[in-house]
Structure 1
Amino acid sequence: MTDTKWHPELTQSAGPKYLSLVRALRDGVRRGDLAPGMRLPTVRDLAWRLGVTPGTVARAYQIATQEGLLEAAVGRGTFVSTQSRRLGPTEPLYRQSMTDPDDDDGVVDLRSPQLPDVGQTAALSRAMTEAAQEIGQSWLEYPGLRRDRYCREAAVEWFSGCSLGPVVTPDDIVLTLGGQNGLNVAMQCCLRGDRPVVLCEELAYPGFRHAARLNRAEVVPVALDAEGMVPEALDAACRRFGGQMVCITPDAQNPTTARMGMERRRAIAEVARRHDLQIVEDDCYTAPVSGLDSLRAMAPERAWHVTSLSKTISAGMRFGIVVAPEGMGEAGRLTAQHSYFGLPRPVTDIATRLFTSGEAMRLRHAAQDEMGRRLQILLRSFGNLDLGWQPGLSFVWLRLPTGWRASTFTRMAEAEGVLLRSADEYVLQDGHAPNAVRIALSGGVSEERFQRALDRLRQLLDSPPADLPV
């Protein structure tokens, strides 16, 4: 009989709704709310109850079935499995062996890179103290369209050694509340009509699609290969769907770690010109300077180069930088002014001090060096596996060995106290997720804890579940 009373709460969960529903199914099984053999609501019924699309529920049911939590019987419905390998209602979510005395839950979070403290807290403290000593009338006024010029002038230093085309000036720069806000500003400047089209990599940073939805845009996936977005696939997508903007991560593709070569970059820029596409170039995961020309260098009339301090200095600062296309800096700043009146004066004062003192660049390199050491630890543990990685990049892409599915692996890693991101979180709706996971490097825990987390993952990888559904 269908359980008409089960109604999971998804409004408080972060991330895609289908993954929130998968977590609710796991929790329901673990607590005993969903008993073995219980018949679940139909896809359409549960979608109506939760206020989501039927595709969201169907995708969650599919993942939970792959994990062995559910069973689908043709013509009868979907049931809680009576045979699956899963956590019992009394089994703790995280094993005690992962717990340190100074940590509350023993969890090692490898979903997003956690910055090591290589001097940021001390540098921020100094900058804040100096800024506080110079508080004046300007702090009582709105930031204004041009009052952040002093910070834009200082921020130019961040791009030393980068090839962004013609000399970057303060007039080209838009200051934003982090990289995600930078994506929104670029889209707000460029997208027109009731249903504009944004093209992006078929496996992509979820923030691309979130920003597109906020701007009423339809997102169209474009195929990837070992170098990232395929120019011929982009051209074909433009011919079929049109498009006003393409979102690309050429230097450190998230999540696959791919890097475009020069010929590929030139081809992408040519397709963008042919179809009059604006380009958003995401450079938030800053790896060591590659020496390759950026897309903005190749198409300065149409490329929006987006970066931030979040991955190398401080995510809490919410400081982002957009290098707008030639002649579009004022339009970008006007959009920012209309949206959020510019960055808060304390943030621009602190950031300016970090830039002008040289602290920002020093901290950037120190953080990358520390992440490089963490990467070497990971490679020693996983070096014989199918990994995508780059020196200095703070995450790796693990293509799972035979016997594993990404959804099952992330669930069982979670039971061991290690949090990962499955490929499902990067695929666009109705897209195909490869059998892979992204592992971020954590600089926020000791090397010993980081190594123990990797050891747990390695033990799982070497012992795939015998009862994995086929």
Structure 2
Amino acid sequence: MNTIWKPDLAQFDGPKFLALSRALRQAIQSGELSPGHKLPPVRDLAYDLGITPGTVARAYQVATQEGLLSATVGRGTFVAAASPRLGPTQPLYMDMGHLKGQGNFLDLRAPVVPDVGQAAVFSEILAEMSAKMQGEWFDYTSQRDEAPLRAEVVKWLSYRMLGSVTPEDIALTQGGQSAILTILLCCLRGDRPVVLTEELAYPGFRHAARLARADVIGVEMDDQGIIPEALEAVCRKTRAQVLCLTVVAQNPTAARMGAERRAAIAEIARRHDLQVIEDNCYATPEHDLPAMRALIPERCWYIGGFAKTISAALRFGYIVCPTGMGETARLTAQHSFFALSRPLHQMVLALLQSGEAHRIRKAVGAALAERAHALVNHLGAHDLGWQPGLPFMWVRLPSGWRASTFARMAEGQGVLLRSADEYALIHGRAPHAVRLAVNGSLSIAAIEEAGDRLASLLRSPPGESYV
């Protein structure tokens, strides 16, 4: 089957992934690409066009979301038949399968929790669970059974300034992404609800909003996060119902919102009756400023989980609900998945009650901090956004670099990272910046090697003729 197709992206403005998605749309509408036509593999088209495989993959994802393309595992990507697609098709995390067999890469795309002895602890807990297995393991799980675990979550969060929190304010979920979707299902009303996010934000916010059939609008940011005046203006123009934000460690810029800014955002949320989702999955050691949950306890949903501190594989998350809304969130969770699976419930309860979760969190934090400092030491001469204790950093690229070019060149040097484009809304603008994450599975020497390679690239921008 013919897969040759090489569009001219120069005729389209904006980021390369948008230019390519527009070229796809135009070629399909004109009949140049007909239904059933197989598109070139991601890596092949990236090479032909001189852009990163990640840029091609994102363009394919956008076109798939619009119903223009269809992808089948093992077969490839095809022009879709002229029929509507139901539901979202864009994956939360980019499939980097095209890199398999292409050599060893130093992967700094997403934080990875290091091994600090979790496997041995998990094995011991599972052995004890299997020895005590009784008849209740064969019936449906119940929200009522989760009361002791909710109480342990309150203790787990005791060092945070969250205001008054009781076990009745807690809802348990299957990871942070599950928490976001659960909250949106609780809050959104009407046919076309509006969700607000930071103009550069964790992609999971917009993926969850799409599942809830909501429109997503980005709000302008500065070095502290969302700008109050910009939020006020958007609220006046729209009937937004939910605001998603991160105040402790903004993802991807690593910005920290100050006390005065938090108070201003809280006042706007009250004035415009916004529900606020406060994402704290990237928990830094901060404890000196009140969370949004403490400032607006009647409308703030605070979320976290174990993915960045204990193990991403456990898929354990929690919501600190607005005062009086805990039962609503638990009922929504019950309608989605009844309750946590018994193995997960018992595993997390044992980790918290034994103190092992606290020990692991401390050890993971120390190991990630050591690697983060190694990366900062190699890149500190450049414009970094970073906080001590945070497992990612934001690199603002020097003149001459564009994010897509830098990501492609870094991949050529064996280092994988995330371009700013991946955090922008489809029609949004992305700065010339990239995010680096601390991969705890890499040795200090490997982290330093990645830092050396990136520092060398940063010192030698290619100039406008290459971007």
TM-score of Structure 1 vs Structure 2, range by shorter chain = 0.7 to 0.9
Match of 1:27 among 43, 59, 65: 43
Amino acid at match of 1:332: A
Could you tell me which residue of structure 1 aligns to residue 156 of structure 2?
158
**Once the two structures are superposed, what CA deviation does each residue of 1:142-188 show, in whole Å capped at 9, x if it has no partner?**
1123121122122222102111111x221111110000000000000
1:321 alignment counterpart: 318
Q: Give per-residue Cα distances to partners, 1:195-238, cap 9 Å, x unaligned.
A: 10001100000000001000010001111111111111111101
Instruction: Please report how far the alpha carbon of residue 4 of structure 1 lies from its aligned counterpart in structure 2 after TM superposition.
Output: 8.0
Does the 8 Å CA contact 1:204/1:255 hold for their aligned counterparts? yes
Give the gaps of 5 or more residues in structure 2.
Answer: 7-15, 25-38, 51-58, 70-97
Structure 1 residues 292 and 412, CA, compared in 2 at 3 Å: closer, same or farther? same
Counterparts of residues 24-103 of structure 1 (less than 5 Å): 27-29=43-45, 34=48, 53=66
Change (3 A) 1:318 1:52: closer
Q: Which of residues 338, 344, 365 in structure 1 aligns to 2:335?
A: 338
* Structure-1 separation of matches of 2:144 and 2:180: 21
Confirm or deny: 8 A CA contact 1:155 1:352 kept in the other structure: no
1:402: Cα distance to partner?
A: 1.4
Alpha carbons of structure 1 residues 342 and 383: separation in structure 2 relative to 1, 3 Å: same
Select which of 382, 391, 395 maps to 1:394.
391
* C-alpha distance in 2 between matches for 1:223 and 1:325: 26
Contact kept, 8 Å, 1:175 with 1:321, in 2: the verdict is yes
One-letter amino acid of the structure 2 residue matched with residue 159 of structure 1: L
Change (3 A) 1:227 1:354: same
Distance apart, 1:366 and its partner CA: 1.3
Partner amino acid, structure 2, of 1:148: E
CA distance in 1, matches of 2:407, 2:112: 19
Give 1:235's aligned residue.
Answer: 232
User: In structure 1, what is the equivalent of residue 411 of structure 2?
Assistant: 414
Residues 202, 262 of structure 1: alpha-carbon distance in 2 compared, 3 angstrom cutoff? same
1:145 lines up with 2:119 in the alignment? no
Identify if the C-alpha distance between structure 1 residues 296 and 463 changes in structure 2 by more than 3 Å, giving closer, same or farther. same
C-alpha deviation, 1:24, in angstroms? 6.0
Q: Counterpart of 2:250 in 1: which secondary structure?
A: coil
SS where residue 121 of structure 2 aligns? helix
Partners in 1 of 2:323 and 2:20 — Cα distance?
42
Q: Closer, same or farther in 2 for the Cα pair 1:153/1:345, shift >3 Å?
A: same
Task: Answer yes or no: is 1:362 the counterpart of 2:350.
Answer: no
Residue type matched to 1:108 in 2?
L
Aligned partner of 1:293 in structure 2 is 290
Cα shift at 1:380: 1.1
* Alpha-carbon distance in 1 for matches of 2:128, 2:312: 21
1:139 positional shift: 1.3
Please give the alpha-carbon distance, in whole angstroms, between the structure 2 residues aligned to 1:376 and 1:338.
Answer: 44
For 2:241, which of 233, 241, 244 is the aligned residue? 244
Question: Residue 400 of structure 2 contacts residue 464 of structure 2 at CA under 8 Å; is this kept in 1?
Answer: no
Query: What amino acid is aligned across from residue 228 of structure 2 in structure 1?
Result: P
**Separation in structure 2 between the aligned mates of residue 19 and residue 330 of structure 1, nearest angstrom:** 46
Q: CA deviation at 1:51?
A: 5.0
- Other structure's SS at 1:361 match: helix
Alpha-carbon distance, 1:53 to partner = 4.4
What's the counterpart of residue 177 of structure 2? 180
Question: Matched residues in 1 for 2:40 and 2:398: separation?
Answer: 27
CA contact (8 A) 1:374 1:443 kept: yes
Q: TM-score, normalised by structure 1?
A: 0.81
Answering whether residue 463 of structure 2 is matched by residue 459 of structure 1, we say no
Displacement of 1:50: 5.7
Could you tell me the percent identity over the aligned residues? Answer: 49
For 2:377 and 2:227, locate their aligned partners in 1 and report how far apart those are by CA, in whole Å.
32
Q: Does the CA contact (< 8 Å) of 1:404 and 1:468 recur in 2?
A: no
Look up the match of 1:219.
Answer: 216
From 106, 109, 112, the equivalent of 2:107 is: 109
In 1: Cα distance, 2:43 partner to 2:321 partner? 45
Match of residue 191, structure 2, among 171, 190, 194: 194
- Contact persistence 1:177–1:343 (CA under 8 A): yes
Q: Which residue of 1 aligns with 2:258?
A: 261
Contact 1:93-1:415 within 8 A present in 2 as well: no
Q: Distance in 2 between matches of 1:274 and 1:55?
A: 41
Q: What is the DSSP-based 3-state SS (H/G/I as helix, E as strand, rest coil) of the residue aligned with 1:452?
A: helix
Contact 1:172-1:327 at 8 Å conserved across structures: yes
Q: CA deviation at 1:26?
A: 6.1
**1:11-39 Cα shifts (integer Å, max 9, x gaps):** xxxxx9869979967622577xx599xxx
- Measured in 2, the distance between the counterparts of 1:299 and 1:466 equals 48
Matches of 2:428 and 2:64 in 1, distance apart? 22
Aligned to 1:41: none
For 2:441, which of 437, 440, 444 is the aligned residue? 444
3-state DSSP of counterpart to 2:113? coil
Mean CA deviation greater in 125-134 or 322-331: 125-134
Structure 2: how far apart are the matches of 1:50 and 1:202?
21
5+ residue gaps, structure 1? 9-15, 37-45, 57-91, 95-102
Partner of 2:277: 280
